[in-house]
Amino acid sequence: MTATSDRRLARRSGSSNRHTTWRWTAWSARSPGPRSRPSRTNPRGEEQAQAEKIFYRGAEEYEKRRYAHAYDFFTRAGELSSRAGIVFSRAQSLRYLGGRREEAIALYEQYLGMEGGTRKADARMWAEELRYSGAAP
C-alpha cells in the first residue's frame, strides 16, 4: 500500500459518520491477504487490484445507506479476495439491510473463524444481537 493511500485511509477513517469508520480498515495494510502489484507473471495481483476497486464501490454504496448494493459489491470483491474485512463488511450490510438475519449471523461467524480481522469483538456482539433481537434499527 502506498503512503498516499495510507494517508487517504487515515483521513477517511477519522470520519464522524458511524457508517464510514469501519469500512476503511477492511482494506488497510493490517488486513490479511496478499498485496502485490499486477504483472504478467502475477495475475493474482490484478485480481487483488480489481477486488479493491469493487470493495471501495461497495463502501461508497454503504456510506449512502444503499446496503443491498453495498452487499453485492462486497460479495463480488470477496469472490476475488479472501480478506476477512470483506466478510465483515458483507455481514454489516446485511445487518443494516434487515430481513436476512441468518445470513448475517453466518457471515459474522465466518469472519470470527478467519485469521486476522480487527473487528472480532464487534462481530461477536452483532451476531449475538441478531440472534436475540433481530436486525439493526
pLDDT tens track for 41-90 = 556 788 899 999 999 999 999 999 999 999 999 999 999 999 999 999 99
On whether the pTM is more than 0.75, the answer is no
Report yes or no on 9 lying in a domain.
no
Report yes or no on 8 lying in a domain.
no
Report yes or no on 137 lying in a domain.
no
Cβ-defined contacts of 44-49 (< 8 Å, 24+): 47/80, 47/81, 48/80, 48/81
Report yes or no on 3 lying in a domain.
no
> Which domain range does residue 63 map to?
14-132
Q: What are the tens digits of pLDDT across the range 24-38?
A: 445 543 444 444 444
The DSSP output letter for 133 is T
Report yes or no on 37 lying in a domain.
yes
Report yes or no on 64 lying in a domain.
yes
Number of domains in the chain: 1
CATH code of 113's domain: 1.25.40.10
